[in-house]
Amino acid sequence: MRFSPESIPLNLGYKYQNYGQKGFHGVAFFSKSDPMRTIKGLDGGDDEVQKIYSM
């Protein structure tokens, strides 16, 4: 699934965070509330691993 920031309904109160590699794997989170904390990558993990934690 591809999306562009212009297609996100920010006027409806949604916020988003995304993490990934252009044209490859990635994740995106959509929410009406701000995350308490976001960690991109894994502590001590391989730099090539594409991960995101959002709480």
| pLDDT tens sequence across 38-54 | 777 666 555 555 555 55
Cβ neighbours around 41 below 10 Å, total: 14
- Look at the chain and report how many structural domains it folds into: 1
Does the model's pTM come out above 0.75?
no
Q: What is the pLDDT of residues 19-28, one digit of tens each?
A: 776 666 777 7
What's the domain range around 28?
5-54
pLDDT value at residue 55: 55
Task: Identify the CA nearest to 15 among candidates 28, 27, 31.
Answer: 31
